[in-house]
Amino acid sequence: MSSKLNITVMLGGPSAEREVSLRTGAAVAKALRSLGHDVTEVDPQNSTFTLPPKTDVVFLALHGTYGEDGTVQKQLDELGVIYTGCDAEASRIAFDKVLTKEACIQAGVPTAKFLTVTSPQTPFPKNLLPPLVAKPSRQGSSVGLQFIERIEEWPNALVESLKFDSEVLIEEKIIGRETTVAIVGGEAFPVVEICPKAGTGTYDYKNKYTTGATEYFCPADFDAATTRAIQAAALGAFKAVNARDYARVDVMVRADGSPVVLEVNTLPGMTETSLLPKAAAAAGLNYAELCQRMIDLALRRK
């Protein structure tokens, strides 16, 4: 246990993921208080905030735009305040799914074929076949996610996804097993496999945040070589976007065992149903210890 700290947990915020962020922040604040720290909760509802004057470190429990796209990180850098997680630039790149893809391709990290669309009138692409996935480039947590199983579904999927961003990423839908890898302090934790129970079989916003709607297996049931390949792909993506401290990388695994990186989450959820705490538990870290580890990684920069 490190010495008692004045920690400000930033939670809530102005994004579409406000509710989840409030839950993440409440859980983190409770855990940090249980370790004896002085914790203040700050909710920057319209991107203005005042930190308590004695703040030693800010724990970022924000999700989505503002919290995860580098904006709040930049504000905190200007204030000279230490905070958990990635810096402003890595956050900006990782939050933008297209920039993340480009960084992965440059680094030789396996990722799905894709293109970008900015208009609902865009014709169906010649070089891709359904099934496809449409995602707003700069939203988290499966917000605006659309599946295109048939060409006829193309126009509507674009309209729906473009409601959430001016740019939409279209990528091949990888058929396989869905996994995620938490990386903390440069170490890849045991792989988590995600198996939605509902008939849809997709890990959408509803399945993600409804307790019991999805089954998780950690460590996931892969052979040692496949596990290493999944973790290596995740670490590759983590480094490609210049992440630091911790992140969670979503990876699809094809039937032949080859991993395909989907995205990098620089401020992954920390609620009771979240995946990073599950992976940490499998690595032998309880929830409070995980929160402390995140604080310790930030304080190294002091």
Catalytic residues: 17, 141, 209, 248, 250, 263, 265, 269
Identify the helix (H) or strand (E) that includes residue 169.
strand 168-172
Are the beta carbons of 115 and 128 closer than 8 angstroms? yes
Enter the DSSP assignment of 300.
T
Q: What tokens appear for 186 in the block?
A: 């440069």
Identify the helix (H) or strand (E) that includes residue 10.
strand 6-10
How far apart, in whole angstroms, are the C-alpha atoms of residue 70 and residue 93? 8
How far apart, in whole angstroms, are the C-alpha atoms of residue 219 and residue 76? 36
Beta strand 176-184 with 246-254: parallel, antiparallel or unpaired?
antiparallel
